[in-house]
A and B are shown apart, each in its own frame.
Chain A
Amino acid sequence: MTLALKQLTRQFTELAALDDVSLDIEPGEFIALVGPSGSGKTTLLRILAGLDYPDRGTVMLNGRDFLAANARERNVGLVFQHYALFRHLSVRENIAFGLRVRPRKRRPPRADIRTRVDDLLKRVQLDGLGDRYPSQLSGGQRQRVALARALAVEPEILLLDEPFGALDAQVRTALRRWLRELHEDLGLTTVFVTHDQEEALELADRLVVMNRGRIEQVGSPQEVYQAPATPFVCEFIGRTNKVALRRDGDAWRAGAWSIPGPGTAGSAVAYIRPEHLALAAADGGPGWDAQLRHIYLAGSVAHLDVHVAELDLSLEVDMASDQLGGLAPGALLRVAPLHGVAFADDCTRWAWGTGLA
């Protein structure tokens, strides 16, 4: 049941929405397409749904040409950002729609449809609301109706286009967890489009990071977060500090701090996660002297705004808020990057610290 996408290209008038995209989607996998707007992730989803077609490239499902079938015959479940519910139909009728429009031969009997709708209402936790109309539901409820409607036709693949984009933060987090549980129950191959990297990291088995119609990196959330493959992934996934490095003999140097590293290029950029910057009292080991400017307390984590005078650079440092002790703005500190990834001018990539590839 592997869905194999090969060299998909889709050109819109000005912009290459997809540029030579290849990807294998394994059965039962929860895959997130993540990227900024205009990165081609929605175009890719629409191609899988049969609502758009590539200029070049193929999609095969078990060796059969997936693109040859039109949207009606694809047997995919599609969920839209703005729900796209049928507003003149009740919740029940919405969910039953995909079964009712089947040709008579394949249409289940009335009683079967009714049972299936009841089951789905329970599954999406909307039992008792079946006779409401969409306008009488909250955003989170509407999206669950949309999901039930997509599941009713027993699709082979579930496609979700920014399904939580129009919901407020709390509902979004709750629905995210719920969707993940649902996926584990059903084991349905799921492709999820989002511009929210946090959502993608939390939900997916595998992330596909896209930028300008190309795939930047494919990997598990850990791989993508811990070992970003390109500068774009470093900046798009999670937060990061950018530090310019200079060649210094066998090492790369930034101010008082240096690290041995390969390459012959003259300069490089290092990306360091806020939680990989260690704070120590002044004059302890290699690192930069810095001054604490501000503490942004965000619950369990504190974001520290630290200024390094010798690099004229502000760095963001994360630490557990119960480790703050007596730290106050104005304190003098020493900051050392424990882990990081760097990209030299000639595109060579290397990483330092433990646990990084």
Chain B
Amino acid sequence: MRRRVLPGFGLSLGYTLTWLCLVVLLPLAALAWKASGIGFEGVARLFTSPRTLSALKLSFGGALLAAMANVVIGLVVTWALVRYRFPGRRLLDALIDLPFALPTAVAGIALTAIYAPNGWLGQWLVPLGIKVAYTPLGVLLAMVFVGFPFVVRTLQPVLQSLERDVEEAAESLGATGAQTFLRVILPTLVPTLLTGFALSLARGVGEYGSVIFIAGNIPNRSEIAPLLIVQRLEEFDYATASALGIVMLAFSLLLLVLVATLQRWTRRWAEPAT
């Protein structure tokens, strides 16, 4: 092996694997073992039940939509924060992290209070036919709220380090503002936006606290998969809860691998020559 400036490959890899086993793999193995308790018949019954399917659809569909929305909103917000100087910019910058710091239940209650039919915004929206609280739209809103900082915080350093002379070169070559953005700036941001997308997606799928308040948890309509798991746990049906967990895990892993593959493809220009 090549000599390196800092030795310690063996030590660091051993440490990594040990922790990975203790903290991640072992609990997952226990989960799988627990889940095997319900047998094939149990699995079949569980995943043909419309209630389970609708909850899974809401959790993953909602998280995907929320992540997409976050990519767009996050890009706009980060652009404003990085490119312009305006009064209150630092305050706004600090506020971005608030969804990280807030206990998720508090966020859920706050969102519900605003969007409930008698809330500040709800009382105006409901007569227009836009119901947010206690509907899938509310679930989506809560997921956007908690996932939003991920996009901003991953994008911010990248946008800051973009070289201005590249934009000047594009302009000098005759590109319009829109062409410069779409052909020069955006493609270099896509890999980072995908990172933000993946983080936001993962957070949305796993989100519990803020969603359950605003969702209303109507079976087959606004009930998320993590809530189903909690309900099974409360009934001491650990096997079914674990089976649901395993399915969520597998699906999340699949999505994240897909995003990572896509990201690698969008970064092909950074690979060394073959």
Interface residues of A (CB under 8 A from B): 49-51, 71-74, 76-78, 80, 82, 84-90, 97-98, 101-102, 132-136, 146, 149-150, 153
Contact = CB atoms under 8 A, between A and B. Distances in A.
Contacts of B170: 86, 97, 101
Given A72-B175, A98-B174, A101-B176, 11 more contacts: A71-B168, A80-B168, A82-B163, A85-B169, A88-B269, A97-B173, A97-B183, A101-B175, A101-B179, A135-B269, A146-B169
B168 A84 contact: yes
A50 B272 CA distance: 35
Contacts, number: 81
Nearest to B163: A84
Interface of B: 163, 165-166, 168-176, 179, 183-184, 187-188, 268-273
A80 B169 contact: yes
A208 B166 CA distance: 27
A53 to B, nearest CB: 14
A72 B171 contact: yes
A153 B269 contact: no
A136 B273 contact: yes
B263 to A, nearest CB: 13
B187 A88 contact: yes
Given A80-B165, A82-B163, A87-B188, A98 B269 contact: no
Instruction: Name the 7 nearest CB pairs between A and B, nearest first.
Output: A98-B173, A136-B273, A84-B165, A133-B269, A84-B169, A101-B175, A78-B172
Nearest to A46: B168
B176 A87 contact: no
Contacts of A135: 269-270, 272
B172 A49 contact: yes
Contacts of B270: 87, 133, 135
A88 B188 contact: yes
Contacts of A149: 169, 173
B174 A101 contact: yes
B269 A87 contact: yes
B273 A74 contact: no
Contacts of B168: 49, 51, 71, 78, 80, 84
B172 A132 contact: no
A51 B268 CA distance: 31
B272 A78 contact: no
Contacts of B173: 97-98, 101, 149-150, 153
Nearest to A132: B273
A89 B176 CA distance: 18
Contacts of A87: 188, 269-270
A89 B171 contact: no
